[in-house]
Amino acid sequence: MKVSLGRPVKVNNFLTTLNITLVANRNLKKMETRAREAIKKISTASSNKAATDAYEQEME
């Protein structure tokens, strides 16, 4: 699964709309990497919990 904020231009356009300071492309890539890792970790935990819950429900 690939997680992306979109092209840096899109992100900076969005920030401009909100009157927020723009972010350098290098920093956007770093944030994107951290977000990807966090999302992967959370989705894995969520999938494991769903599988465990389904198994327990089936065994009842």
Nearest to 35 by CA among 10, 2, 12: 2
| Confidence tier at 55 by pLDDT (50, 70, 90) | very high
Residue-level pLDDT at 4: 54
Residue 3 lies in a domain: no
In the DSSP assignment, the letter for residue 37 is H
SS3 57: helix
Residue 29 lies in a domain: yes
Residue 1 lies in a domain: no
Interacting residues of 32 by C-beta distance below 8 A, sequence separation 6+: 3, 4, 5
Residue 45 lies in a domain: yes
Please give the tally of structural domains in the chain. 1
Residue-level pLDDT at 49: 95
Residue 2 lies in a domain: no
For residue 49, give its domain range.
8-59
- 23-53: per-residue pLDDT in tens? 787 887 888 888 889 999 999 999 999 999 9
Residue-level pLDDT at 52: 95
pTM of the model: 0.54
